[in-house]
Amino acid sequence: MSEARRIVVDTDTDTDDAHTLLYLAARPDAEIVAVTSVYGNCVDPDAVRNIGHVLRLLGLDVPIARGAAEPLAGPAHIAGHVHGSDGLGDLGYDRPMPAVSAESAAELLVRLAAEQPGELDLLALGPLTNLAAALRLDPDLFTRYRSVVLMGGSGPYAPPGTLLMIDANINNDPEAAGAVFAAPRRELVMVGVDVTGTTILDERAIAALRAAETPKARFATEILDAYLDFYQNEWGRRVIPLHDPLAAGILLDPGFATAWVDGPVNVRTDGFLSRARLMRTHDGLPPAFPYQAAPPTRVITQVDAPRFVADFVEMLTR
């Protein structure tokens, strides 16, 4: 087995973020070094409480730092209708506020990278506000992380007539996302909704989780109902995409990605929603408008969804 990846997780801890922490803790090639909170699918105080709740369930004692409660500009858009108002399905868990670092999330991200350059990976699962704040403290921050992998973006421009899920993590703070994609880096990997939306935890996989006796699997299925309620209105089935877990899987095993393109990413808006896009059309051509130059980002365009879903279920049920 290769050396374990030592990972700092930045998260707006909701259902699939909690699933991601469970998955990382179960993987023998991963070590969670620290966790930072950010608003997004719940308000920041709930994100912090949820981090503490999941880490206690896992028996992990790692630093937790509080991060942004709102975007760099404009109001926060909290998706309580997707994961429940508390982010974990409003099941009434006792979620005391955990002990948190005296440092902000941005300060912790900067310090850890400076102390251990090239040794840590940064996994961003929510709006990119904390990362942008950290870049203001250290513009070369991403060159000090072994890699930065984020769940967000929409890949290259899709073929005409194709519809995509909302690019929520980017849309929640387009200004922060723009700063992230413009920053110098060692390796930046974008795992967008165009690929995470194809990685489905279906009825059979959910049944396997429900049948397992592990505390991780029990908790993972307890918090599913609000999320399933939301996605049944999309697909008519009680299934969910594994958005954030897929980003973690690709960080640990790049072989889950079967195709990618390296190129510049810009954050674009249609006047209603913002997306992070690889500045290429679906057939590899440049877009029909001027765009900003940016360092290359590795944009995942296809994944081995069945293999990843099988690995996710195995990790939570073993």
Instruction: Reply yes or no on whether 282 is catalytic.
Output: no
Phi, psi of 71 (to 5 degrees): -65, 170
Buried b (16+ CB within 10 A) or exposed e, 88-117: bbeeeeebeebebeebbbbbbbbbbbeeee
The Cα 172–Cα 140 span in angstroms is: 24
- Report the SS3 class of residue 24: helix
Q: Are 14 and 42 in contact (CB under 8 A)?
A: yes
Burial class of residue 208 (count of CB atoms within 10 Å of its CB; 0-12, 13-18, 19+): middle
The Cα 194–Cα 212 span in angstroms is: 30
Phi, psi of 194 (to 5 degrees): -65, -25
Question: Token digits for 170?
Answer: 């980017």
For 148-215, the three-class secondary structure string (H helix, E strand, C coil) is EEEECCCCCCCCCCCCCCCCHHHHCCHHHHHHHHHCCCCCEEEECHHHHCCCEECHHHHHHHHHCCCH
Phi and psi based region of residue 135 (left: phi greater than 0; alpha: psi -120 to 50; beta: remaining): alpha
Marked catalytic residue, from 19, 83, 243, 282: 243
Catalytic residues: 243
